[in-house]
Amino acid sequence: VIIPAFNEGQRLSAVLQGLATHPWQVVVVDDGSTDETARVAAGAGVIVLRHLINRGQGAALRTGLEYALMHGATQIVTFDADGQHSADDIPRLLQTLQRDEAELVLGSRFLGTAPGIPWHRRCLLRMAVLLTRLTTGLRLTDTHNGLRAMTGPAAAKLRFSEDGMAHASQILSLAARLKLRVCEVPCSVRYTEQTLSKGQRSSAAFRILGRLAIARLLR
């Protein structure tokens, strides 16, 4: 389980406690945090990688994936550090991989539950779904969810280069281009005051669009 984390010292401990009851190997990638993130993760006894400087969630995720592949991981889960996700959803994703129904399994809050989701966030996510459908042809219900599972070979093929939040869109774009089998399973995403306080602002959507446009222009 790969957890990219940036200044999540306060919330990471609870996230790691939730995962500790399961037998998975957890890798926390501290993306150049200035707080106690790395120390908290190390205290929980999980593998900790550390970026010298902050490079973004996409870069941290890719670092974690590279580490997992270097160590022969056959199934890899990506998980957010802010406590939005529930570790209890992971077995459902892995079972879908194990049944060979897909190479990339995405958690969907709109198939599952998302209590407390702000209306503007819901609208933006719906627009992202529509945009993804138009640009990739993938018929999904939730395109920017950090909870995913993938096989080792699929992770090796998904060589995304976006360092920031645009990586989620790039992963889907690559999956469509590589013709990976993609499916969604229901998951729960919790929105609390804490998660919303540090979570992405809605304006980040425009930054993501800008990044995707630049990537299209230059590649």
Contacts of 145 (CB under 8 A, 6+ apart): 106, 107, 108, 109, 168, 187, 189
Q: Which span sits near another protein by CB under 8 A: 63-71, 72-80, 81-89, 109-117?
A: 63-71
Identity of the residue numbered 56 = G
Judged by CB under 8 A, the number of residues near another protein is 31
Q: What's the token pair of residue 98?
A: 């194990």
Tokens coding 178 = 């590589």
- Contact criterion met (CB below 8 Å) for 165 and 56: yes
Question: What is the Cα–Cα distance from 31 to 160, expressed in whole angstroms?
Answer: 17
With respect to another protein, which residue has the nearer C-beta, 39 or 207? 39
Burial of 158 (0-12, 13-18, 19+ CB in 10 A): buried
Angle at 45 between CA 39 and CA 48, to 5 degrees: 55
Question: Of 127, 132, 120, which is closest to residue 182 (Cα–Cα)?
Answer: 132
Which span sits near another protein by CB under 8 A: 48-56, 81-89, 111-119, 172-180?
A: 48-56
* Piece of 42-50, 85-93, 168-176, 187-195 that binds another protein (CB under 8 A): 42-50
Task: Please measure the distance between the N-terminal and C-terminal CA atoms of the chain and give it in whole angstroms.
Answer: 31
Write the interaction track for another protein spanning residues 169-198; mark x where CB under 8 A is met and - where it is not: ------------------------------
**48 makes contact with another protein (CB under 8 A):** yes
Enumerate residues 147-166 that contact another protein by CB under 8 A. Answer: 161, 163
Write down the least CB distance from residue 149 to another protein, Å: 22
Judged by CB under 8 A, does residue 41 bind another protein? yes
63 lies in the binding site for another protein (CB under 8 A): yes
Q: Is 29 among the residues that bind another protein (CB under 8 A)? A: yes
30 binds another protein (CB under 8 A): yes
- Positions touching another protein (CB under 8 A) are 29-30, 32-34, 38-39, 41-43, 45-53, 55, 59, 62-63, 66-67, 70, 161, 163, 214, 217-218
